[in-house]
């Protein structure tokens, strides 16, 4: 039974981690252009690191 | 300055015409020029290479801070302070991409998108909470007792209470709103179930009771939010596409000031200004021609398929298209004062009379909510009577509310509408209004406009004319020298026949009359019969132009307005389905009769004014008919707004697109008939979904009322009905 005191917080933390990741991806507008993002990985430019987003990328309209 | 109430009326309504729309736009255009944000539409981009090409070309331009292509929307947003969007169009055209300037102010989809993200965020939170609480609940269901169960309930409570408060907000807000105006919307039982379930669970946890409904409350939230998101999504796609069409018409005009040309926004025009209308451009304001000769295409305004001659003194209205020569126009009324605003009034009246359509979901909610509330109340009172125990009674009442919760009902309509509008979108139809699909299913009478709707609004050469073979190359060459629609149609037909152009000299266009040139030392003319001196009455009906070669007999060339592809098919399908088909046109009788005969329409009326069209629709409606109006012009807007449901082609005027519920994106008219069929099956699907959720309730409610419903059962019944309803909607694909 003692194991529950470890496992429950762990499961909650993992879930919260997933939630935070989801909210972050939503905030950074990663669902704005799914088609474009799928194509962009084929682009030769900036292959060693991702292209820096334009200035207005993170701001809310 | 007009008085304030009139102003407000126009703000609300006047997106119905491009010129009038311009006034509030001006400020927004100025604002976007300050930040340097511009949006270009790129219909041609489709792959990774295109993205790189476009972005690289734009970033190489001076002053461009950033350029980002959005492939989903086929747009590029450019951040370049001090530059103008139209400067980038040639840059992109040089590397082979068609680009159009979009009026950023008309695109509000960013704001709409924020709403979508907001719902998504709540779905994420509810989903996280749901999963965690269910893990804990499984332990309780499988028999956790005493302190362990209490601990699980407490952890659930800590997760669930903030989640319900946060994720349930859209329902609470809308329930409160409907309660305040004294209605019982769908969101009232939803909110009540959410609040009651959470409150009772909390109470039970405090009392270390056996059952808590936290999982049910959070899952309810999750499923309902999914329905809400589907609903939002299907509408957002349609709205953003329709907005893009609107944004394509950037309201700019060439103003002549002290002889110099100056590009200004339509909103800045004042009566007395002189503006220049180039050939091919749309007239931006009402006015009188002071200089120039040309021909005017009035088809969008009046439905006349033949161009009208215009010279000094002629009065033009905003929305007409200048065809052949440049015209200088003295503005008599611009923006809100123009003749368009009279039409806008007509549209506003018509729309007000259409009234509020109660969707199936609303009607279902109207019947459903009182029943649910009554049932919960009866079980509360019944159990109180039988046991005298408030706690047990409240628990049973909550179980009843949760089990009967209109979760499946909330999903039933959005899921079907999403599936149906997705399918129609692929066929080229955009649903702008949420209830359009349901209204479409009720249609029994279809009214078509002619010019631009059933026909292309563009002439096509009738090849039966006796044009001698040796004159064909000459005809091609001389017609190529003019931008007149008849000439263009002639060029197209001759080129399609494989005719090679002849060498001609001294080609010259006389706007409003025709083209003249020299061929092998002989004078050649192509144009109006009265200009060439041919026998005009003998040329009879239909658009006609005359080719005259010196020393030869003049050859009349006849044209017809080509039928839109799929038009005949569409009419035949509609009639085959037993629907009444009518044609109302502003065009001349012969042209209308000809088109009607070609399409097999028995009932048609010609020479109709916008008011007459609207009155006709109103008469049909009061006769009990559910009318679908299909039209593209300004003269149709009032009729479009009056009809039960309306469709306009994307090639139509902004005003028509605004007034209609559905926009037809492609050239082909056949999807209109498909839409009617599909809407019928969508309606059936929605009704099936209602039947499914009611059937679930009939099975589940007795258990809940009898007090047998455990949280597990409530959760199972609810998710089962939600999933069944969603799957049923997906069958539509």
E runs forming strands in B396-469: 429-431, 445-448, 455-461
Provide the pLDDT for residue B289: 86
| Rounded Cα distance, B593 and B305, in Å | 13
| Rounded Cα distance, B226 and B450, in Å | 42
Question: DSSP characters for B369-403?
Answer: HHHHHHHHHHHHHHHHHHH--HHHHHHHHHHHHHH
Chain A contact for B48 (CB, 8 A cutoff): yes
| Rounded Cα distance, B525 and B518, in Å | 9
The minimum CA-CA distance between A50 and chain B, rounded to whole Å, is 14
What interface predicted TM-score (ipTM) does this complex get? 0.78
Cβ-defined contact of B128 to A16 (cutoff 8 Å): yes
Contact B528, B546 (CB under 8 A): yes
Residues in chain B: 733
Q: How far is CA B505 from the centre of its chain?
A: 48
Neighbour-count burial of B495, counting CB atoms closer than 10 A to its CB (0-12 exposed, 13-18 middle, 19+ buried): middle
Which residues from A are below 8 Å from B113, CB to CB? 32, 61
| Rounded Cα distance, B697 and B725, in Å | 13
Nearest alpha-carbon partner for B192 in B168, B209, B215, B212: B168
Provide the pLDDT for residue B547: 79
Contact B610, B475 (CB under 8 A): no
Candidates B31, B37, B72: best to mutate against A (most CBs of A within 10 A) is B72
Residues of chain A with pLDDT under 50: 56-61
- Rounded to a whole number, what is the largest CA-CA distance in chain B? 113
| Rounded Cα distance, B444 and B353, in Å | 20
B90-128 pLDDT tens trace = 888 888 887 777 766 656 555 557 788 889 899 999 999
Chain A contact for B68 (CB, 8 A cutoff): yes
Candidates B128, B158, B237: best to mutate against A (most CBs of A within 10 A) is B128
Structure-token pair, residue B650? 């994307």
Which residues from B are below 8 Å from A19, CB to CB? 124-125, 128
Nearest alpha-carbon partner for B732 in B691, B687, B693: B687
**What's the order of all strands across the beta sheet hosting B308-310?**
B308-310, B294-297, B321-322
Which residues from A are below 8 Å from B148, CB to CB? 1, 4
Structure-token pair, residue B596? 């009607």
Provide the pLDDT for residue B19: 38
Question: DSSP characters for B569-632?
Answer: HHHHHHHHTT-EEEEE-SS-HHHHHHHHHHHT--EEE-S--HHHHHHHHHHHHHTT--EEEE--
User: Apex CA B712: angle with CA B708 and CA B716, to 5°?
Assistant: 105
- Average of per-residue pLDDT values in chain B: 77
Nearest alpha-carbon partner for B730 in B419, B408, B412: B419
| Rounded Cα distance, B500 and B495, in Å | 7
Contact B557, B547 (CB under 8 A): yes
Cβ-defined contact of A35 to B72 (cutoff 8 Å): yes
For strand B286-291 and strand B315-316, is the pairing parallel, antiparallel, or unpaired?
Answer: antiparallel
Is B561 an annotated catalytic residue?
no
Provide the pLDDT for residue B345: 65
Which residues from A are below 8 Å from B142, CB to CB? none
Cβ-defined contact of A43 to B132 (cutoff 8 Å): no
CB-hemisphere CA count at 13 Å for B240? Answer: 16
pTM of the model: 0.70
Provide the pLDDT for residue B450: 81
Residues of chain B with pLDDT under 50: 1-34, 538-539
Cβ-defined contact of B132 to A55 (cutoff 8 Å): no
Which residues from B are below 8 Å from A8, CB to CB? 136, 155
**A36: closest chain B residue by CA:** B71
The minimum CA-CA distance between B131 and chain A, rounded to whole Å, is 8
Q: Which of residues 105-144 of B touch A (CB under 8 A)?
A: 110-111, 113-114, 117, 120-121, 124-125, 128, 131-132, 135-136
Residues in chain A: 61
Structure-token pair, residue B690? 């209602």
Question: What phi and psi values does residue B277 have, to the nearest 5 degrees?
Answer: -105, 115
A-B contacts (CB, under 8 Å)? 76
Chain A contact for B720 (CB, 8 A cutoff): no
Nearest alpha-carbon partner for B599 in B673, B488, B649, B666: B673
The minimum CA-CA distance between B112 and chain A, rounded to whole Å, is 10
Contact B423, B556 (CB under 8 A): no
Candidates A13, A14, A36, A55: best to mutate against B (most CBs of B within 10 A) is A36
Chain B contact for A24 (CB, 8 A cutoff): no
User: Which stretches within B248-327 are classed as H helix?
Assistant: 299-302
User: Apex CA B119: angle with CA B115 and CA B124, to 5°?
Assistant: 145
Nearest alpha-carbon partner for B128 in A20, A8, A28, A6: A20
Which residues from B are below 8 Å from A40, CB to CB? 48, 51
Helix (H) or strand (E) holding B518: strand B514-519
Provide the pLDDT for residue B354: 58
The minimum CA-CA distance between B72 and chain A, rounded to whole Å, is 5
Provide the pLDDT for residue B340: 61
Which residues from A are below 8 Å from B58, CB to CB? none
Structure-token pair, residue A23? 């909210």
Contact B221, B119 (CB under 8 A): no
Cβ-defined contact of B124 to A31 (cutoff 8 Å): no
Chain A contact for B71 (CB, 8 A cutoff): yes
DSSP conformational letter for B304? -
B152-199 pLDDT tens trace = 889 899 999 999 999 999 889 988 888 888 777 677 878 888 888 888
């Amino acid at each position: 039974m003692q194991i529950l005191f470890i496992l429950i917080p762990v499961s909650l933390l993992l879930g919260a981690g997933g939630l935070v990741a989801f909210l972050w991806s939503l905030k950074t507008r990663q669902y704005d252009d799914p088609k474009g993002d799928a194509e962009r990985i084929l682009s030769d430019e900036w292959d060693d690191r991702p292209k820096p987003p334009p200035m207005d990328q993170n701001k809310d309209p | 300055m007009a008085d304030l109430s009139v102003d407000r009326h126009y703000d609300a309504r006047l997106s119905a015409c491009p010129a009038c729309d311009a006034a509030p736009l001006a400020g927004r255009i100025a604002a976007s020029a300050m930040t340097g944000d511009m949006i270009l539409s790129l219909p041609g981009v489709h792959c990774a290479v295109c993205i790189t090409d476009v972005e690289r070309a734009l970033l190489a331009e001076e002053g461009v801070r950033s350029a980002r292509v959005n492939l989903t929307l086929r747009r590029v947003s450019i951040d370049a302070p001090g530059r103008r969007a139209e400067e980038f169009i040639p840059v992109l055209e040089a590397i082979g991409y068609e680009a159009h300037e979009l009026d950023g102010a008309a695109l509000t989809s960013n704001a709409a998108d924020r709403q979508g993200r907001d719902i998504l965020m709540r779905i994420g939170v509810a989903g996280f909470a749901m999963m965690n609480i269910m893990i804990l609940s499984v332990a309780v269901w499988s028999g956790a007792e005493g302190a362990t169960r209490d601990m699980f309930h407490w952890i659930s409570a800590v997760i669930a209470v903030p989640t319900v408060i946060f994720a349930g907000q859209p329902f609470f807000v809308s329930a409160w709103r409907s309660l305040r105006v004294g209605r019982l919307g769908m969101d009232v039982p939803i909110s009540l179930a959410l609040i009651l379930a959470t409150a009772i669970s909390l109470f039970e946890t405090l009392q270390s009771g056996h059952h808590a409904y936290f999982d049910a409350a959070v899952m309810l939230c999750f499923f309902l939010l999914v329905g809400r998101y589907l609903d939002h999504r299907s509408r957002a796609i349609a709205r953003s596409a329709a907005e893009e069409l609107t944004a394509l018409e950037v309201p700019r005009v060439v103003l002549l000031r002290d002889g110099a040309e100056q590009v200004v926004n339509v909103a800045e025009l004042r009566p007395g200004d002189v503006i220049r209308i180039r050939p091919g451009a749309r007239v931006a304001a009402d006015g009188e021609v002071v200089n120039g000769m040309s021909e005017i295409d009035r088809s969008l305004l009046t439905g006349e398929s033949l161009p009208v001659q215009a010279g000094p003194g002629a009065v033009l209205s905003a929305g007409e298209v200048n065809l052949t020569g440049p015209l200088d126009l003295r503005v008599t009324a611009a923006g809100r004062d123009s003749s368009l605003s009279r039409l806008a009034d007509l549209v506003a009246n018509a729309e007000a009379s259409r009234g509020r359509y109660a969707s199936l979901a609303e009607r279902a909610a109207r019947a459903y909510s009182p029943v649910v509330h009554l049932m919960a109340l009866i079980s509360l009172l019944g159990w109180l009577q039988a046991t005298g125990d408030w706690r047990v009674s409240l628990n049973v009442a909550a179980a009843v509310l949760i089990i009967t919760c209109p979760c499946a009902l909330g999903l039933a309509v959005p899921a079907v509408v999403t599936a149906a509008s997705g399918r129609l979108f692929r066929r080229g139809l955009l649903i702008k209004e949420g209830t359009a699909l349901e209204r479409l299913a009720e249609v029994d009478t279809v009214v078509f406009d002619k010019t631009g709707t059933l026909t292309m609004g563009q002439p096509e050469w009738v090849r039966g004319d006796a044009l001698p073979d040796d004159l064909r190359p000459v005809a091609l060459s001389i017609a190529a020298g003019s931008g007149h629609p008849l000439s263009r149609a002639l060029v197209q037909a001759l080129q399609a026949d494989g005719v090679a152009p002849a060498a001609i000299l001294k080609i010259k266009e006389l706007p409003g009359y025709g083209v003249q040139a020299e061929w092998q030392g002989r004078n050649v003319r192509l144009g109006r019969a009265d200009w060439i001196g041919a026998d005009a009455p003998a040329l009879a009906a239909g658009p006609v132009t005359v080719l005259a070669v010196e020393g030869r007999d003049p050859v009349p060339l006849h044209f017809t307005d080509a039928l839109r592809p799929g038009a005949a098919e569409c009419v035949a399908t509609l009639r085959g389905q037993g629907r009444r088909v009518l044609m109302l046109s502003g065009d001349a009788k012969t042209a209308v009769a000809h088109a009607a005969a070609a399409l097999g329409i028995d009932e048609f009326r010609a020479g109709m004014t916008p008011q007459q069209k609207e009155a006709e629709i109103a008469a049909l409606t009061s006769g009990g008919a559910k009318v679908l109006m299909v039209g593209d012009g300004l003269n149709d807007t009032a009729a479009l707004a009056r009809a039960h449901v309306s469709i306009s082609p994307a090639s139509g005027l902004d005003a028509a697109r605004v007034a209609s519920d559905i926009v037809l994106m492609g050239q082909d008219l056949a999807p209109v008939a498909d839409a009617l069929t599909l809407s019928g099956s969508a309606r059936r699907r929605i009704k099936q979904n209602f039947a499914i959720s009611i059937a679930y309730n009939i099975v589940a409610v007795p258990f809940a009322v009898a007090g047998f419903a455990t949280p597990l059962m409530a959760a199972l019944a609810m998710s089962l009905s939600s999933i069944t309803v969603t799957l049923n909607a997906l069958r539509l694909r």
